[in-house]
């Protein structure tokens, strides 16, 4: 539900017997709040009707009736409805809270969903539709915004037959067209809808998850209707060749314009998807059933919880009582607050001398000759012992680390291509070229030496050319349908032209000699 659309509505402190924690989303029909039920100690999603619809008695009656119908549906992949009430002039529906992430946000975050995940989510959506159809309920507004995705990655269908009653929309008038144009089946534009219309919308969602875009997206409603009624989208394999062909065929069949050409039941489409994944060689579990323990917890009625002491939020310190989410900062009180990691500044250490050190010591000076007399005699006088010389330690520079050699390249596994088709793609042109060259060699001697032997060789070359001409055309068409490069498609035509010229040259030579 959009947060910017719809009339502004002040958030009440309580709705019925539920304490409002914060707003989850806002739309034209009303607002969805996250609330807390003190009596049972659980979080709920409260959908509050907008004020402009309260005076519409027909709308209120339909809102009440659809709330009762949705409350009858109990399935692991359907959001459960717990309560409907109109206290104090406020009309609301209390539902199971599974988070605020929809399949629309899930697709927007990933762009394209992996094939296994897309098929698994679609399988869960089909399981929910199968249960609803068995109860005689048609959703008529299947779209990514009405499918919730839990933290565990499971899909849950919500908003049963409520969005189509939006009287302010031209496409949701009572007795008129129902649904969202991009996900509506062609028959819904005529005011007709059944379970096969839900399967059509499911196919559109699966197409969008696999390719990343809606097959019927346009700027105006008129263009969307034109595409829905008259244009068949390209198969998913034409958009992304990595999508298995078997899965693409399931999507194409579900998007058939004629309801009789689609899957007739949700169970039939589920089985087709599982068979498609088996044919594609996937080892992932398609159905991905919810564990029996979790299913039992969700299917049984919640039990009252004992009173607990009042506690405060670890993030902001405000009292949260028994609420799971803090009303001040929105922190999940069931999870500990992650403390900021301290910044460690590495200690600066003095340089350590290297292994090699050179010690230089000044040598003591030797004896000095002194002249003490004028007669020229000389006396050697020893010099007093000098103080010990100071040692100087010269440290060798630290060795510079050499860069490590780059890792060896990873070997590329070459998978051999097998089969006749791959053999023709790889070796077809080479075989045609060698055969054509052999035919030319058989014909060439006759052009120089005209005798019985060369004529026999020429006849063999002509017979080979007659067979190679259609083979060249066939190989060219084979490359064309395999979507080869244009030069590769034109190469067999060039060989055929050469063969035809050689045949004409032989015929001209024979006519000239005769």
Measured N-to-C along each axis, helices 420-448 and 452-481 cross at an angle, to the nearest 10 degrees, of 150
Contacts of residue 239, Cβ cutoff 8 Å, sequence gap at least 6: 210, 211
pLDDT number for residue 429: 85
- C-alpha span between 514 and 501 (Å, rounded): 20
- C-alpha span between 474 and 480 (Å, rounded): 10
pLDDT number for residue 205: 95
- C-alpha span between 511 and 514 (Å, rounded): 5
DSSP 8-state class, residue 155: E
pLDDT number for residue 398: 60
- C-alpha span between 378 and 132 (Å, rounded): 131
Q: Are 457 and 442 in contact (CB under 8 A)?
A: yes
- C-alpha span between 333 and 313 (Å, rounded): 7
Q: List Cβ<8 Å contacts ≥24 apart for 66-72.
A: 66/160, 66/161, 66/162, 66/165, 67/93, 69/137, 69/160, 69/161, 70/160, 70/161, 72/135
Q: Are 160 and 73 in contact (CB under 8 A)?
A: yes
Which are the catalytic amino acids?
141
Residues comprising the chain, all counted = 514
- C-alpha span between 21 and 139 (Å, rounded): 30
pLDDT number for residue 386: 59
pLDDT per position as a tens digit, 135-170:
888 888 899 988 999 888 899 998 875 534 433 343
- E strands present in 337-377: 357-360, 368-370
pLDDT number for residue 190: 86
DSSP 8-state class, residue 13: S
- Indicate the Cα dihedral angle 275, 280, 284, 289, nearest 10°: -20
Q: Are 143 and 201 in contact (CB under 8 A)?
A: yes
Label residues 187-217 b or e (16+ Cβ within 10 Å = b).
bbbeeebebbbbbbbbbbbbbbbbbeebbbe
**Can you spell out the DSSP letters for 298-342?**
HHSPPPP-------B-TTT--B-TT-SB-TTT--BTTSPPPPPPP
Q: Are 326 and 22 in contact (CB under 8 A)?
A: no
pLDDT number for residue 495: 85
Closest CA to 148 of 74, 214, 97, 212: 97
pLDDT number for residue 379: 47
Percent of the chain surpassing pLDDT 70: 70
179-181-183 Cα angle (round to 5): 80
pLDDT number for residue 152: 87
- C-alpha span between 350 and 117 (Å, rounded): 57
Cα separations (Å) of 511 from 78, 402, 500?
Answer: 86, 81, 17
| Main-chain phi, psi angles of 20, to 5 degrees | -80, 125
Tens of pLDDT along the chain (514 residues) come to 444 444 455 678 888 888 889 888 876 677 888 899 888 888 899 888 887 777 777 777 777 777 777 788 889 999 888 888 877 778 888 888 888 889 999 999 888 899 999 999 999 999 999 999 988 888 888 999 889 998 888 999 988 755 344 333 433 444 445 678 899 999 988 888 888 999 999 999 999 999 998 999 888 999 999 998 998 999 999 988 899 999 999 999 999 999 999 999 999 999 999 999 998 876 554 544 444 444 444 444 444 444 445 567 777 776 666 666 676 676 677 777 666 555 555 566 665 555 544 444 455 555 545 444 444 444 445 555 655 555 555 555 566 666 667 777 666 555 566 677 778 878 888 888 888 888 888 888 877 777 888 878 888 888 888 888 888 888 888 888 878 888 888 888 888 888 888 888 888 877 777 6
370: β partners: 379
pLDDT number for residue 245: 93
């Amino acid at each position: 539900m959009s947060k910017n659309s719809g009339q502004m509505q002040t958030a009440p402190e309580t709705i019925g017997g539920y304490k409002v924690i914060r707003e989850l989303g806002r739309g034209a029909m009303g607002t969805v709040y996250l609330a807390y039920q003190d009596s049972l100690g659980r979080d709920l999603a409260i959908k509050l009707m907008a004020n402009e619809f309260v005076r519409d008695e027909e709308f209120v009656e339909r809102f009440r009736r659809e709330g009762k119908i949705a409350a009858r549906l109990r399935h692991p992949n359907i959001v459960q409805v717990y309560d409907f009430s109109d206290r104090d002039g406020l009309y609301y529906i209390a539902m199971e809270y599974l988070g605020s992430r929809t399949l629309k946000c899930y697709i927007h975050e990933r762009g394209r969903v992996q094939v296994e995940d897309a098929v698994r989510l679609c399988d869960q959506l089909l399981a929910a539709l199968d249960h609803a159809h068995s109860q005689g309920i048609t959703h008529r507004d299947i779209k990514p915004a009405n499918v919730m995705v839990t933290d565990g990655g499971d899909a849950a269908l919500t908003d049963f037959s409520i969005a189509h009653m939006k009287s302010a929309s031209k496409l949701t008038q009572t007795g008129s067209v129902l649904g969202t144009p991009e996900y509506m089946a062609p028959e819904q534009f005529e005011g007709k809808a059944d379970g096969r219309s839900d399967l059509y919308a499911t196919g559109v969602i699966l197409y969008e998850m696999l390719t990343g875009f809606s097959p019927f997206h346009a700027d105006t409603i008129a263009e969307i209707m034109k595409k829905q009624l008259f244009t068949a989208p390209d198969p998913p394999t034409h958009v992304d060749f990595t999508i298995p062909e078997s899965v693409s065929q399931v999507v194409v069949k579900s998007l058939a314009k004629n309801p009789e050409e689609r899957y007739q039941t949700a169970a039939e489409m589920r089985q087709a998807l599982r068979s498609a994944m088996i044919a594609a060689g996937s080892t992932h579990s398609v159905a991905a059933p919810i564990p029996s323990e979790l299913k039992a917890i969700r299917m049984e009625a919640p039990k009252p919880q004992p009173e607990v002491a009042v506690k405060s939020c670890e993030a902001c310190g405000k009292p949260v009582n028994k609420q799971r989410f803090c009303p001040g900062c929105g922190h999940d009180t069931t999870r500990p607050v992650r403390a900021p990691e301290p910044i460690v500044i590495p200690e600066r250490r003095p340089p350590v001398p290297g292994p090699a050190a050179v010690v230089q010591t000044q040598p003591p000076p030797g004896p000095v000759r002194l002249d003490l007399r004028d007669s020229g005699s000389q006396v050697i006088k020893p010099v007093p012992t000098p103080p010990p010389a100071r040692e100087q330690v010269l440290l060798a520079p630290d060795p510079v680390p050499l860069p490590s050699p780059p890792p060896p390249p990873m070997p590329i596994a070459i998978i051999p291509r097998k089969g006749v088709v791959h053999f023709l793609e790889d070796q077809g042109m080479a075989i045609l070229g060698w055969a054509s060259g052999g035919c030319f060699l058989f014909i060439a001697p006759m052009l120089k030496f005209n005798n019985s032997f060369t004529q026999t060789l020429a006849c063999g070359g002509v017979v080979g050319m007659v067979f190679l001409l259609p083979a060249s055309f066939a190989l060219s068409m084979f490359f064309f349908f395999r979507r080869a490069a244009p030069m590769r498609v034109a190469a067999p035509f060039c060989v055929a032209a050469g063969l035809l010229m050689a045949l004409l040259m032989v015929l001209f030579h024979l006519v000239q000699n005769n």
